[in-house]
Structure 1
Amino acid sequence: MCGRYVRRSDKQRIAEAFRLAELPELPLPPDYNIAPATFQPVIRLNRDTGEREMVLMRWGLVPYFAKSLLDWKGFSTINAKAETLQERALWRGPFQKRRCLVPADGFYEWKKIDPKTKQPWVYTLTDGLPFAFAGLWHAWKNPDTGDWLQSFAVITTTPNELTAEVHDRMPVILHPRDYDRWLERGHVEQPPVDLLRPYEAEAMHAAKAHPKVGNVRNNGPEMLQGPDDEGEPMALLNSK
């Protein structure tokens, strides 16, 4: 699964990397320990203009049939398995009509060391550029207040050779050349199932992260620093 990730790029850098039509008026400070149930930037196509736009959504997709957030609490919808997107009703609609890009600079996975200890690892791209998870989004109307909540999930797939050393799943990372196809709105004759594959291991970098990343209250560039490292965090220093 993908339960924590990193976004250190500012909105200007994200806008350039994802070719946004306009720079969004959103507060977007770096976040080195993104956790579920928080609001994060997501990129989709604007229904009216057809151009890419960035909006804030809650991480953890709330389905249309949920009676309340409390009613849905306890069911993990932060991730959607690529293998079952077209089988489960929960994911089928969003996969057909509401696909999105989730900007990130890295993600965490935990490796079990012993029954009481897990070591977090952070994965980035070797080119140091921001990238996109393949995501799904949905809009839920609160029956009590009439307010709308937009939420998203990150799609996961089988691991590549690098991530398999730590976990049996990894988030789907899309290539920029595939962004347009992934974002295409509405029903398509051939959904982009072929894009839901492990990213190339040779284009990724892995490093030990700080054990404190396990607590969502800890946040800062030191989360990227391994327990035995000295000096500055190393994992993302190759960013351009």
Structure 2
Amino acid sequence: MCGRYVVVASVEEIEKRFQVTAAQLPFDFQPNFNLGPGSLAPVITNDKPNELQFFTFGMTPFWAKKRMYLFNARAEGDGNMDNDPDYKGGKGIISKPSFRKPIRSQRCLVIADAFIEGSYAEGLDKPHLVYLYRRPFAFAGIWDVWKNPETEQEVHSFAIITTTANPLLQKIPHHRSPVILHERDERRWLRAEHLQEITTLLEPYPAEEMNAYPISPKVKSPKATGRELIEPVGERLQPELELRMKTELRLQGMGAGKRDHRH
């Protein structure tokens, strides 16, 4: 599962990296080192691929009678319930009631700088920060629009698609990993029309292009959002080459720079 992640890149950095323009923001966008369900987060949707938007993390399907927070969507659907990392079966997400429409026509890039994962036995009592050697990056996401039957207010929300654990996640150990898109596949994810092309992208990200280290269980509190949450409390799970050490996720300088969003 991926229920907490880190977003610290400035709006300007995201705009440059993904070649998008941010709409006027309804709030003061600040770095968040512990972004969880219910929070507004940056996304790029297939219907507005050149615009940076902010949707609620935790998807409510359009047909729901009340608010829901489906923050993850299993690529395998009801398949691979044992979470076998070597699973090669079908992508059952295409037939799940909550996801079968969004996976076909409502996909998005979920912008992140890192994510937080706990062990499958101890959860966030034993959390790790997982990062790529490039940032920011994009999770494969799906989105929907739900209208509150009482207030008529529309809620735009999203879920992150998960798949089998790669060798790095298995070291935590955790049984799932979010689908992280290669940079070359980001636009392909947004514009793909055929299910075979879409589901082909739902694979684990290469473990050699990422790393992780243990952090404090203080991250369990959804109210905690500060930089101190990602301070390492132990060694990295994989040794790093000197070249990668120069480009790894750095604690200092993350989220630097603010933007005046007044227009």
TM interval, short-chain normalised: 0.7 to 0.9
Which string of whole-angstrom CA distances, capped at 9 and with x for unpartnered residues, describes residues 179-212 of structure 1?
1111117x53644111100000000011111221
Q: Which amino acid is the alignment partner of residue 77 of structure 1?
A: L
Match of 2:105 in 1: 97
Q: Residues 189 and 211 from structure 1, CA distance in 2 versus in 1: closer, same or farther, beyond 3 angstroms?
A: closer
Match of 1:2 in 2: 2
Which string of whole-angstrom CA distances, capped at 9 and with x for unpartnered residues, describes residues 208-239 of structure 1?
1122111111111111113369xxxxx72188
CA contact (8 A) 1:64 1:140 kept: yes
Q: CA deviation at 1:110?
A: 1.0
* Residue among 28, 31, 56 paired with 1:58: 56
CA contact (8 A) 1:9 1:130 kept: yes
- 1:139-178 pair list within 5 angstroms: 139-165=145-171, 166-178=173-185
Q: Which amino acid is the alignment partner of residue 174 of structure 2?
A: H
Q: Residues 107 and 140 from structure 1, CA distance in 2 versus in 1: closer, same or farther, beyond 3 angstroms?
A: same
Distance 2:31 2:195 in 1: 38
* 2:190 maps to 1:183: yes
CA RMSD, Structure 1 to Structure 2 (Å): 2.3
Distance 2:107 2:124 in 1: 36
Which string of whole-angstrom CA distances, capped at 9 and with x for unpartnered residues, describes residues 48-98 of structure 1?
xxx4211111111101121222xx4xxx51100011211212101000000
CA contact (8 A) 1:98 1:137 kept: yes
Q: Residues 156 and 117 from structure 1, CA distance in 2 versus in 1: closer, same or farther, beyond 3 angstroms?
A: closer
Distance 1:61 1:172 in 2: 16
Q: Structure 1 length as normaliser, TM-score?
A: 0.85
Q: CA deviation at 1:117?
A: 8.3
Match of 1:122 in 2: 129
Structure 2 gap ranges (5+): 78-92, 236-247, 255-263
Match of 2:95 in 1: 87
Match of 1:232 in 2: none
Q: Structure 2 length as normaliser, TM-score?
A: 0.78
- 1:16-31 pair list within 5 angstroms: 16-20=16-20, 22-26=21-25, 27-31=28-32
Structure 1 gap ranges (5+): 230-234
Distance 1:91 1:215 in 2: 29
Q: Which runs of 4+ in 1 moved over 3 A?
A: 187-191
CA contact (8 A) 1:157 1:169 kept: yes
Distance 2:179 2:234 in 1: 30
What is the percent sequence identity of the aligned residues?
38
Number of residue pairs matched by the alignment: 223
Distance 2:219 2:59 in 1: 23
